[in-house]
Amino acid sequence: MTGNAPQTRLDPRYSDPAATATDWATAEARLAQAEQFWISTVRPDGRPHVTPLPAVWADGALHFCTGPEERKARNLADNPHVVLTTGTSTWDKGYDLVVEGAAVRVADEDRLRELAAAWEAKYGSFWHFEVRDGAFQHGGGSAFVFAVAPRTVFGFGKGEPFSQTRWRFE
Q: What is the pLDDT of residues 146-159, one digit of tens each?
A: 999 999 999 999 99
* Cα end-to-end distance, the chain, whole Å: 12
pLDDT confidence tier of residue 100, bands split at 50, 70 and 90 = very high
Instruction: At 149, give phi and psi (nearest 5°).
Output: -80, 125
The pTM assigned to this predicted structure is: 0.95
pLDDT confidence tier of residue 140, bands split at 50, 70 and 90 = confident
Find, among 61, 53, 38, 70, the residue nearest to 127 by Cα: 53
Query: What residues pair up with 169 in beta bridges, in sequence order?
Result: none
Other CB atoms within 10 Å distance of the CB of residue 128: 14
| Confidence (pLDDT) at 139 | 85
Mean of the per-residue pLDDT values of the chain: 96
Pairwise CA distance, residues 18 & 112, whole Å: 44
Domains of the chain with CATH codes: 7-168 (2.30.110.10)
Residue 160: DSSP 8-state: S
Q: How far is CA 10 from the centre of its chain?
A: 21
Q: How many residues does the chain have?
A: 170
Model confidence at 1: pLDDT above 70 = no
Pairwise CA distance, residues 21 & 29, whole Å: 15
pLDDT confidence tier of residue 3, bands split at 50, 70 and 90 = low
Average pLDDT, integer, range 41-54: 97
Find, among 30, 44, 39, 43, the residue nearest to 65 by Cα: 39
**DSSP 3-state of 169:** coil
pLDDT confidence tier of residue 6, bands split at 50, 70 and 90 = very high
